[in-house]
Amino acid sequence: MQSNVFAKEVKEKALIEVSLEQRIREDLGQKTMSVTFIKNGEQMVCEMTADDIVNALKDESCKNIQLSLF
pLDDT digits (tens, 9 = 90+) for 6-42: 666 666 666 566 677 788 778 777 788 888 877 778 8
CB contact at 8 A, 17 and 55: no
pLDDT of residue 4: 59
pLDDT of residue 12: 66
pLDDT band at 68 (very low <50, low <70, confident <90, very high): low
Average pLDDT over residues 45-51: 85
DSSP label of 42: E
Whether the predicted pLDDT of 53 surpasses 60: yes
pLDDT of residue 36: 81
Neighbour-count burial for 46-62, b at 16+ CB within 10 Å, e otherwise: eebbbeebbeeeeeeee
